[in-house]
Amino acid sequence: MSRIIATAAIRGAHSIVKQAEEKLREAIESKGKDAKVDFPDTGYYLPIIYSATAFEVKTLGDCEEALGHARALLPPIPEEKIYLPYLGWALDAGIATLFAEEVIEACKYLIGPNPVDGIWLGAAADVILRERGIEFVDGTAPGFAAVVGAAPTNKIAVQIATELQEKNLYVFISGNTDGKSFAEQLDEEGVQLGWETRLVPFGKNITSTIYSLGFANKAALSFGGIKPADFTRNLIYNKNRIFAFVMALGEVDDEKYANAAGAINYGFPTIADTDIPEILPTGVCTYEHVVPLITHDKIVEKCIEVRGLKVAAAKVDIPVSYGPAFEGERIRKDDMQIEVGGPGTPAFEYVVMRDNNEIEDGKIEVVGPEMDEMEIGPGKPLGVYVEVSGRKMQPDFEPIFERRTHHFLGEAQGFFHMGQRDIIRHRISKDAFNKGFRIKHLGNIIHSKYHEEYGALLDKVQVTLYTSKEEVEKKLDEVKSAFTERDERALGMTDASVNQFYSCTLCQSFAPSHVCIISPERSGLCGAVSWLDGKAGYEITPTGPNQPIEKGKTIDEKLGLWEGTNEFLFNASNKEFEQVSMYSMVTNPMTSCGCFECISAMLPMTNGIMTVDRDYTGMTPCGMKFSTLAGTVGGGIQTPGFVGHSKFYMGSSKFISGDGGLARLVWMPKHLKDELTDALTEAANEAGLEDFINKIADETIAQTEEEVLEHLQKVKHPVLGLDPMF
């Protein structure tokens, strides 16, 4: 370890700990030691301190104790003539820095300046972790870049940001160089910032770097099942599964060195554009620890190499940048060249299977005017008519391809995609138009991505793009008829009507023992994978995460126990679990990874269950917020009395049917109740539960288990007549 870097990092750590002590003193003088502190909407307290020590920082008084931990980790600043092994000292100083920075940022939320200000977003809420974490699981986001400082020019900043986006990486931004931040440079050039575009500006001060590392810590706790205070496993998990690195732009001072030392603890190396001391031998990081003096045209490539990232960026023949980072891009009305679809304007996206001899691969045709012939503005009709063929292609795959079209088209920079089927609304920006993007390029994207993603199924892809109102309306009768037929076919499928279920082990990259078992009446717990998706996934990639599961002999029909599902679970969970009940949350429930849309938990006093979704940040009647529940249930374990699941599952006749079914549901957030009213009402009517939706309590009716029970008695909820769950 370079003595120069170690000394600088240790000096920086001493400086930041001192700042934290001063900030804490100011906060205590203003609010008192009993004042509550936290980051907004999280169940992980101050996540780095919590994950490292299991210490729950709840008050300013607790912050004093946390700073005691930081102060204890601080090594002495090395003297000029003393030469020692500095690695351990520098790493300790790095962790002390992170502890101190969490205290500083927590105090800011209490006494200011507020970390959320203008373009600065501050700490990531647990809702964001759930929404974005799945992208780290499925490989959509191979890792993140923690960019610290600023580029020499705004143009270089935009070039670096775009290249990182094209590599599908998240970009977490903090710190500044001579008062200028990388995020401010992007904002000045009109680049859209935020979680949607993966350009996330946490804060202008170097202390806001802890939000990047806090995100990684929370991912380990939530998805990896790592327990608080198991610091070694946390760091190993981050090194091997959260592929992140620090990109240091501009001058690196002592405090930046201290943050770099903190990041190295997690296996996250630092790559810089300036001439700083290097640390090339491998050790804590996979490869080099600090690599200096990389030119701006090579720095993204070098970061990926040093971190050991495997990035497969899509190559699509269009005149704009392309990648998942652009899917969240929004196009304002003033920036719009044209808008497709919307109220009163016919538009659709449709995929249909053909025989091989009926279509021509790569044929892309625009029937009607191109964008050059269209007036600027809304109200443009569009029919995206995709014909595919292949020996392994099946009609059941058509809707799966259609749903993926949403992502494929939306990943083009300057193209905003919303809706599906015959209710779509798209925008193309003036900037994309000026770069040469046209309607025909939608066909290029579809042809390229269909072959890339579904090459095992498809031989040919032909795309016709109808842009005249008459032609679009002419095709709509055929398209709507096909949609109706598909819906009827899917609704007729039940668990009993098939001999095979499908697995999804995609989340084992985060939760090694987790296995989703997907049936027609129980989708994957993330809500993104149906039985048909599982079937298609297996056809596309026979060795992939979706594998067929022969149900085999029935062991218990009520609980949903089969020999085949048990055998598959045992082998796929690394022999961790022997049985899984498809229809029970009490007896050997399905494992939960952390990507679930909802969690159901028993409320023993009521003899029923509550269900909470990840968008609800308040306290629940079981005494835990969603984030705390997720830590209890997630990580690939079976937790009797708790289960993660999709929203779709709640409207299924098999929803915890082994435990009494929908009649057990006694509480859920109001917004979730409103969202699922139609599905729950239909399921309740089929189960003979009269006026059931109005008998379910929500946070506007009851906030404690006692209040829920009082409501149940008042409305005569059917759960009161059921046998005990245990």
- Evaluate if residue 709 carries a pLDDT over 90: yes
- Evaluate if residue 3 carries a pLDDT over 80: no
Reported as a single tens digit per residue, the pLDDT across 580-589 is 999 999 999 9
Q: The domain 3-307: what is its CATH number?
A: 3.40.50.2030
Structure tokens at 13: 């750590």
Is the fold of 3-307 the same as that of 496-721?
no
Reported as a single tens digit per residue, the pLDDT across 294-338 is 999 999 999 999 998 877 655 788 999 998 888 878 899 999 999
Reported as a single tens digit per residue, the pLDDT across 137-163 is 667 788 999 999 999 999 999 999 999
The tally of CA atoms less than 13 A away on the side-chain side of residue 189 is: 16
pLDDT at 137: 67
Would you list the DSSP string of 290-331? Answer: EE----TTTHHHHHHHHHT---------SSS-BSGGGTT---
pLDDT at 273: 97
pTM above 0.75, yes or no: no
- Evaluate if residue 399 carries a pLDDT over 90: no
pLDDT at 562: 98
How many residues are there in the chain? 726
What are the φ and ψ backbone dihedral angles of 427, each rounded to 5 degrees? -130, 140
pLDDT at 427: 96
* Fold for the domain defined by 324-484: 3.30.1650
- Between the alpha carbon of residue 391 and those of residues 319, 388, 401, the distances in Å are 33, 11, 16
pLDDT at 420: 83
Residue range 279-305: mean pLDDT, rounded: 90
Domain boundaries, the chain: 3-307, 324-484, 496-721
Residue range 592-603: mean pLDDT, rounded: 91
pLDDT band at 280 (very low <50, low <70, confident <90, very high): confident
Helix axes 87-111, 254-264, angle to 10 degrees: 110
As its CATH architecture, domain 496-721 has 3-Layer(aba) Sandwich (3.40)
Reported as a single tens digit per residue, the pLDDT across 44-90 is 999 999 999 999 999 999 999 999 999 999 998 877 655 555 678 89
Percentage of the chain lying above the pLDDT 90 cut = 72
Residue range 171-194: mean pLDDT, rounded: 97
Mean residue pLDDT of the chain comes to: 92
Would you list the DSSP string of 84-118? Answer: ---HHHHHHHHHHHHHHHHHHHHHHHHHSS-S-BT
Percentage of the chain lying above the pLDDT 70 cut = 98
pLDDT at 314: 58
pLDDT at 80: 64
Cα gap 654→495, rounded to integer Å: 9
3-state helix, strand, coil in the chain (%, to 5): 45, 15, 40
Reported as a single tens digit per residue, the pLDDT across 420-456 is 888 888 999 999 999 999 999 999 999 999 998 888 7
Determine contact, residues 290/150, Cβ cutoff 8 Å.
no
pLDDT at 618: 92
Would you list the DSSP string of 240-306? Answer: HHS-EEEEEES---HHHHHHHHHHHTTT--EEESS----B-S-SSSSS-SEE----TTTHHHHHHHH
What are the φ and ψ backbone dihedral angles of 515, each rounded to 5 degrees? -140, 120
- Evaluate if residue 225 carries a pLDDT over 80: no
Mention every residue, 6+ apart, whose C-beta is less than 8 A from residue 557.
none
pLDDT at 312: 63
pLDDT at 2: 65
Reported as a single tens digit per residue, the pLDDT across 616-668 is 989 999 999 988 898 888 888 999 999 999 999 999 999 999 999 999 999 99
Per DSSP, the three-state class of 386 is strand
Cα gap 145→183, rounded to integer Å: 13
